[in-house]
Structure 1
Amino acid sequence: MNKRVFANLALLLTAAIWGFGFVAQRVGAQYVGAFTFNGIRFGLGSLSLVPLILYMDSKRNKSTKKARDSSLVKSSAAPKSKRILKDTIIPGVLVGTVLYVAATLQQIGLSYTTAGKAGFITGLYMVLVPLFGIFLKHKITKNAWAGVATAVVGLYLLSVNEGFSIALGDLLVLVGAAFWAIHILTIDRFAKSVDPLKLSSLQFATCSILSITTALFTETITMDGLSGSLIPILYGGLLSVGVAYTLQVVAQQHAKPSHAAIILSMESVFGAIGGALLLSEKMSTRGLIGCGLILSGILISQLNFSWSKKKIKSVVE
């Protein structure tokens, strides 16, 4: 299977897990505060990757040892700690800090605005990714722009059900959308040079520490609340964080940032599906049309419309 196709499918699965995660977050919010929920679930996500990281490191060390024994080459271990700090820890902390800011702004904004507005405004990170990418000298194709425009219209029909106006909550969610875009571009910057598992675990740990620290000063944590939100927290930690964010990091090694943004926007569609199946929420005809437009946007972004004479000739023949 083509690496880019595999990456796109992995991103679609990520969007599905995140989409159904809205149900878990909605239920969990009834028992614990936003910072507590985020702190625990990101902590679980980080810890869930430790066994796999240790296994992969052990496997890698064995192969390295065999290579050294066969070549009789000894390498100095002195600069190893500096390399780990520069190449792994610093990128993980940076990405995790961006993740914390994005998640925090979104959660606080949701306290002052409707879910429909928040869904549309957060989805604007799809547009911001290619816009920010221009400043990073990323090349954006015409069909990617067309896909973004189509998907934004779809998100509007799916998420916005009332008059659109910019209030405090809307502004906070909008700034959060900018940080979600920065998060995607930051991962794209480090995904090709940093071990994806270690990058994932470190960003989760950073976000967890920052969230728990904030929760200790702003929220009341009780055992009743934690026990009532156990299942949502487990889903949010092991699937939404441990599995989905790792899939995102791995997939973005081979996916274009603009394409990744559009595919990940499908979480809104899966969120609507999860709400209908698990919370008995009904989707209007307007919402269904929005889902179709988002799917169309994804397909448009993936298609290549630049047909050369050689390609046309091969098709005709």
Structure 2
Amino acid sequence: MSRLRANLILMLAAMIWGSAFVAQQVGTGTLGTISFTGARFLLGGLVVLPFASMQFRRVHANEHRFVPNDWYLMILIGLTLGTAAMLQQHGILRTTVTNAGFLTALYVPMVPLIGLVLLRRRVHWVVWPASVGCFIGTYIMSGAADVELRIGDFWVIGSTLFWAAHVLMVGHAASRTRAPLVVATTQFLVCGVFGLTLGAIVEYPQLHDFTSALFGIGYVGVFSVGMAFTLQVVGQRYTQAADAAIILSSETVFAACAGYLFLGERLSLFQMSGAVLILVGIMAVELVPLTGIGRPRPLQ
């Protein structure tokens, strides 16, 4: 798969995520944060499981023989994903969708920074201004001066560390195993079991709590988890983690478009300039490296 096609797949994932923020806020019913997260990821895992099973048999026989370390890595990714999603979901219920969308974008500059400091991975120079530009663009789209920190925002901020780690690990695992559907499904099932087990201990959910959240679990589980997270894993096999983080930040733009189409929400000219800044950052990451200027050199 070409890098361009992989990045288009990542943008499609961002489009689906952008439409899911509202469902995550209004579709939980009386179900607790942890149980809701576990239920939606378990559903997403079951949706993708038949396709992952076929891919596992093919790859294991012909391309990459799975070893215990592969499964340990995918389990760790699932636990990281679960922690990020639970922290974000807990925060979303205690703040605005606008604030949550903006603060989640903090992971965009974190990805290349963590990659450089901890993994010693150099990236193309354009990634740094593009990361900052996407973060500023998200801030502008969120209303800039109207964004006031609430208690839920600190939970969302905490989730960004785990989102950044997740983006880095997913790309590595997809390339290592050559089986992105297996990586996606394993992380979903681990996250689902983790969330439902922890939720049963902490939240004591009843059957009526799950039935009250059926719409949210169904929509987010099938589309945001089963489709979008799987697309993320597939796309990240063929593109760098830092590039992926920038492209995935376009979910803010798509969230605004969904609000315009379905909720009648409008952006000011100032907020539209933020969307333009995000799109410019994405185009820069896609096009500037093609010029061959400023290719990164490995660290010694």
Same fold (TM over 0.5): yes
Of 89-98 and 277-286, more deviation after overlay is shown by: 277-286
Question: Residues 53-94 of structure 1, C-alpha deviation per residue, up to 9 Å, x if partnerless?
Answer: 333345568x76xxxxxxxxxxxxxxx8xx54322x212210
Q: Secondary structure at the match of 2:282?
A: helix
- Structure 1 residues 117, 50: closer, same or farther in 2, change over 3 A? closer
Count of matched residue positions in the alignment of Structure 1 and Structure 2: 289
Task: Give the superposition deviation at 1:133.
Answer: 1.0
Residue of structure 2 aligned with 1:134, choices 87, 100, 116: 116
Aligned to 1:42: 41
Alignment of 1:212-251 (within 5 A): 212-219=196-203, 221-251=205-235
Task: Give the superposition deviation at 1:176.
Answer: 1.1
Question: Residues 40-65 of structure 1, C-alpha deviation per residue, up to 9 Å, x if partnerless?
Answer: 1100111112211333345568x76x
Task: Give the superposition deviation at 1:172.
Answer: 2.7
Output the CA distance in 2 between the equivalents of 1:260 and 1:32: 32
- Structure 1 residues 137, 56: closer, same or farther in 2, change over 3 A? same
Question: Residues 161-196 of structure 1, C-alpha deviation per residue, up to 9 Å, x if partnerless?
Answer: 446666654333222111110000011221111221
Supply the RMSD in Å over aligned alpha carbons.
Answer: 2.5
Residue of structure 2 aligned with 1:96, choices 68, 78, 88: 78
Q: Secondary structure at the match of 1:176?
A: helix
- Structure 1 residues 58, 134: closer, same or farther in 2, change over 3 A? closer
Q: Secondary structure at the match of 2:175?
A: coil
Alignment of 1:246-265 (within 5 A): 246-265=230-249
- Structure 1 residues 221, 139: closer, same or farther in 2, change over 3 A? same
Of 287-296 and 32-41, more deviation after overlay is shown by: 32-41
Aligned to 2:129: 146
- The answer to whether the aligner puts 1:13 opposite 2:9 as a matched pair is no
- The answer to whether the aligner puts 1:279 opposite 2:248 as a matched pair is no
Aligned to 1:118: 100
Aligned to 1:23: 22
Contact conserved, 1:45 with 1:241, CA < 8 A, in 2?
yes
What amino acid is aligned across from residue 249 of structure 2 in structure 1?
Answer: S
Q: TM-score, normalised by structure 2?
A: 0.86
Task: Give the superposition deviation at 1:216.
Answer: 1.6
Percent identity, please: 36
Question: Residues 246-283 of structure 1, C-alpha deviation per residue, up to 9 Å, x if partnerless?
Answer: 11111111111111001101111111222232333333
- Structure 1 residues 60, 164: closer, same or farther in 2, change over 3 A? closer
- The answer to whether the aligner puts 1:185 opposite 2:185 as a matched pair is no
Output the CA distance in 2 between the equivalents of 1:33 and 1:290: 34
